[in-house]
Amino acid sequence: MSPDPAPAQETARAQEASHALESARPHDGARHLAPARVLDVDPLLDDPKTRIVVCCGSGGVGKTTTAAALGLRAAERGRKVVVLTIDPARRLAQSMGIDSLDNVPRRVKGTEGDGELHAMMLDMKRTFDEVVEAHADPERAAAILANPFYQSLSAGFAGTQEYMAMEKLGQLRARDEWDLIVVDTPPSRSALDFLDAPKRLGSFLDGRLIRLLTAPAKLGGRAGMKFLNVGMSMMTGTLGKLLGGQLLKDVQTFVAAMDTTFGGFRTRADATYKLLQAPGTAFLVVAAPERDALREAAYFVERLAAEKMPLAGLVLNRVHGSGADHLSAERALAAAENLEEPRIVDQADGKAGLRNSPETDGGSDSPEPSSPDPAPAPSVAELPDEQTSVDLVDQVTAGLLRLHAERMQLLSREQRTRDRFTARHPEVAVAEVAALPGDVHDLAGLRDIGNRLADNRRELPEPGE
Amino acid sequence: MSRLQVVSGKGGTGKTTVAAALALALATAGKRTLLVEVEGRQGIAQLFETEALPYEERKIAVAPGGGEVHALAIDPELALLDYLQMFYKLGGAGRALKKLGAIDFATTIAPGLRDVLLTGKACEAVRRKDRSGRFVYDYVVMDAPPTGRITRFLNVNDEVAGLAKIGPIHNQAQAVMRVLKSAETAVHLVTLLEEMPVQETVDGIAELRAARLPVGRVIVNMVRPQSLDAADLELVRTVPRASLARSLSAAGLGGARRGGHAERLVEPLLGQAEEYAERYALEQEQRSVLGELGLPLHELPLLAEGMDLAGLYELATELRKQGVS
Ligand SMILES: Nc1ncnc2c1ncn2[C@@H]1O[C@H](COP(=O)(O)OP(=O)(O)OP(=O)(O)O)[C@@H](O)[C@H]1O
Ligand SMILES: Nc1ncnc2c1ncn2[C@@H]1O[C@H](COP(=O)(O)OP(=O)(O)OP(=O)(O)O)[C@@H](O)[C@H]1O
Ligand SMILES: [Mg+2]
Ligand SMILES: [Mg+2]
């Protein structure tokens, strides 16, 4: 990919949005949050009116995994589904049988039930070539495909991947062979790129400047263009020196050839964009429970609302819950320290047998009668061995407690981050998916993620818990 | 040691963070480093909690021990104008070009042009000397584009091959290439201990090597603490649950008998250990993949409280301890 052509705008946008974030923050310190709405995935997938689900989000949060898992789930619930993936991890692609780059959907083997899952991996160059081939007679198409500027454009210009993902979506939708299309979006810093990049590229290619520069002759003699003409010749002169005459000529030939066959990049980008606003399209924002990812998700949510594009909800992916979340990090650490203190003194005091502390936890359950340890105190002869094994067990226990403390610290940070998002967007339904210890790279793993997406259960404790 | 240190890696793995920590680490007593940013995202300013950086070198931090870190956000538009000014004496016409969007146009249709301006500026800083003949910067650290683009980005000669065959840009590309392919440069890759970033690192290194670009270190970032080692995990598997319950109880966490608080902690704690063990095994696998690369390998801890300025200094200290400076 080539560098982003409009970084300055992006920075401005980020700053603007971060101001919005400040002002949206509630004033009071002690907030009492209502729990977020729970995103119910199955009704969305089952509804025959749902025709397109788009998974968006910033880089690396799990868009591809979520898209594939939703596709599999919908298929196993009886629908005929196609998943359009973009740059899937190698092993995932292999396990779905889509690692060959032929740019057409393939039936995925090994799904359960009556539905069908088809999947493909986007080949952006191939998709672009197809567009050219579909719109130009063979001779002209060949000329465009051979044009060096076209080649660098299709191989990875900023925005080409997004543009072609939309193009492919349009093609799949037009074939009308599937009940449901699940779309993954390209890796990018910002989820907004999926919406913005195609238009940006379209405007650039259709832009006035590119036309003026590549066809300055057309301007000759027009009134009021004098200054521009001087500017133009100076510009083409300077650019020619910099870029070489050939590149400019390539661009010029390309634009002329595309013009007569294609009818404008921007028009086309607009057309596919409309598809995203059509009823039957649902967006899912995927985010990790981290500040940056959720901030991006918030921008995206706001943008969708502004564009009147329907948001189904937020998938909060890779969250860390705990089956022992009533034991705080602080208590776990204190307990671990207790165990790591040498117990020799205790032994001398004859307390070695009292390994059972009274029930101090103010839990909801009825107090347990404290009882002396049923095991008899070790005899003096046994003591050294017994001591070693007790020490070993204590060491393991301390390790488990420290591990738990880390988990709890992570959990409360994730919870705070989530609650901040919820405070800003209480209307957004949320599905939480646990972080699995390993990668997700086969159908079983996708099924597991699908179950977690749909189980309507929170991984993290509710606010205030 | 190489004076131009380029930091790349998969998106989001911590390129900007590691580049900044490295710039701090290299700024040992009396030394001066320049941290450059090339993607116009103001990541450095955010990290150092300062206002947006202009296209101008300025001091942003003093390293532990007194070295200085300066920073520069290279703006390709302004860099191109500089060049045009220097070689063609454009005067006000340069501004007109900018106003008409011609500069943006040129750098967009020819990404190679953009790249050579960015790398060119960094190389210029590497070679710059003061009046006494001493290098102005001891090290230049670049927060570079991600692994997928790094080889094309640095291999400017090939990139501008399609452009004008003569003139300043062409000469610039030649000069840049001489620096980038020499021992003066080292390209470091940042990764996480996960399959995809590691795979991308392996592929990226192969690409860099094929292009004869000098590969430096592999820096594993956001490494989670090793709470339990292999021996501990073995013990976890073998210790009877009842003993664990008694131990938890002895630590003051409630009753060890069935249904007691301590006893009820055993299952979830063991579950967490099991997850940890699985992750640990996967991480070890990725470590060994990275080990086979035969490059210096460094690990930086995941900062549990998230990144801030203090955390950045912590990472810099860690890098120094691991001998990068
Ligand atoms: N809930 C989860 N638990 C564990 N691992 C996960 C989970 N979700 C995703 N992963 C893993 O995280 C990695 C990144 O996921 P994925 O490729 O889906 O992200 P992405 O958003 O598509 O990334 P990119 O922006 O690079 O396209 C993969 O290795 C995937 O297996
Ligand atoms: N060692 C660490 N501990 C905790 N958080 C970290 C660590 N390193 C980086 N981060 C955080 O991870 C996120 C990504 O880091 P950073 O921006 O440096 O990555 P990057 O590779 O430059 O990303 P991009 O590809 O978007 O440029 C940031 O929020 C950063 O604060
Ligand atoms: Mg992806
Ligand atoms: Mg960065």
Q: What residues of chain A, 216 to 255, have a C-beta less than 8 Å from chain B?
A: 231, 234-235, 238-244, 246-247, 251
Residue B150's pLDDT is what?
Answer: 95
Question: A5-15+32-206+255-319 in CATH: which number?
Answer: 3.40.50.300
Q: Which helix (H) or strand (E) holds A172?
A: helix A160-175
Predicted TM-score of the model (pTM): 0.86
Confidence of residue A465 (pLDDT cuts 50, 70, 90): low
Q: HSE-up of A78 (CA within 13 Å, CB side)?
A: 5
Say how far apart CA B136 and CA A144 lie, in whole Å.
49
Best mutation site among A65, A184, A292, A446 for ligand 1 pocket (most ligand atoms within 8 Å of CB): A65
Name the CA dihedral angle for B85, B89, B92, B95, rounded to a multiple of 10 degrees.
-30
Q: What is the pLDDT of residue A235?
A: 67
Mean pLDDT of chain B: 91
Residue A1 reports pLDDT greater than 80: no
Residue A118 has pLDDT above 70, yes or no: yes
> How far is residue B83's CA from residue B77's CA, in Å, rounded to a whole number?
10
β-bridge pairing B185-191 and B297-301: unpaired
Nearest ligand 2 atom to the CA of B13 is 21
Residue pair B120/B72 in contact (Cβ under 8 Å)? The answer is: no
User: B174 falls in which pLDDT band (50, 70, 90)?
Assistant: confident
Among A28, A281, A246, smallest CA distance to A149 is for A246
The domain ranges of chain B are 4-224+302-321, 230-277
Q: Which is more confidently placed, B48 or A254? A: B48
Residues 277-296, chain A: which have Cβ within 8 Å of B? 291
Distance CA(B61)–CA(B31), nearest Å, equals: 12
pLDDT, averaged across chain A: 80
Task: Say if A151 is an interface residue toward chain B (CB within 8 Å).
Answer: no
- Mean pLDDT to the nearest integer, A362-373: 43
Shortest Cα–Cα distance, A309 to chain B (Å): 28
Residue type, B302: L
Asked whether the predicted pLDDT for residue A356 surpasses 70, the reply is: no
| pLDDT value of position A205 | 79
Q: What is the pLDDT of residue B17?
A: 97
Residue nearest to atom 25 of ligand 2 (CA): B11
Cβ contact, residue pair A1, B149, below 8 Å: yes
Q: Report the C-alpha gap between A428 and A299 in whole angstroms.
A: 13
Residue numbers in B near A235 (CB within 8 A): 97, 100, 102
B55 CA → ligand 4 middle, Å: 18
CB contact A412 to B (< 8 Å): no
B90 pLDDT higher than 80: no
The conformation of residue A108, written as its DSSP 8-state character, comes to P
Most confident of A158-167, A202-211, A318-327, B149-158: A318-327
Which residue in chain B has the smallest CA separation from A367?
B260
Per-residue pLDDT band for A231 (boundaries 50, 70, 90) equals low
Q: Where in chain A is the domain with CATH 3.40.50.300?
A: 5-15+32-206+255-319
Between CA A107 and CA A98 the distance in angstroms is 9
DSSP states of A393-440: HHHHHHHHHHHHHHHHHHHHHHHHHHHHHHHH-TTS-EEEEEPPSS--
Best B172, B227, B232, B305 residue to mutate vs chain A (most A CBs within 10 Å): B227
| pLDDT value of residue A256 | 79
Q: Look up residue A291 and give its two tokens.
A: 């500040």
pLDDT tens per residue, range A380-396: 444 456 666 888 899 99
Distance CA A390, CA A393 (A): 5
Lowest-pLDDT range of A203-207, B9-13, B267-271, B307-311: A203-207
CATH homologous superfamily of domain B4-224+302-321?
Answer: P-loop containing nucleotide triphosphate hydrolases (3.40.50.300)
Rounded to whole angstroms, the Cα distance separating A236 from A248 reads 9
Q: A244-253, A291-300, B250-259: lowest mean pLDDT where?
A: A244-253
Residues B18-41 have a mean pLDDT of 95
Interface of B with A in 200-219 (CB under 8 A): none
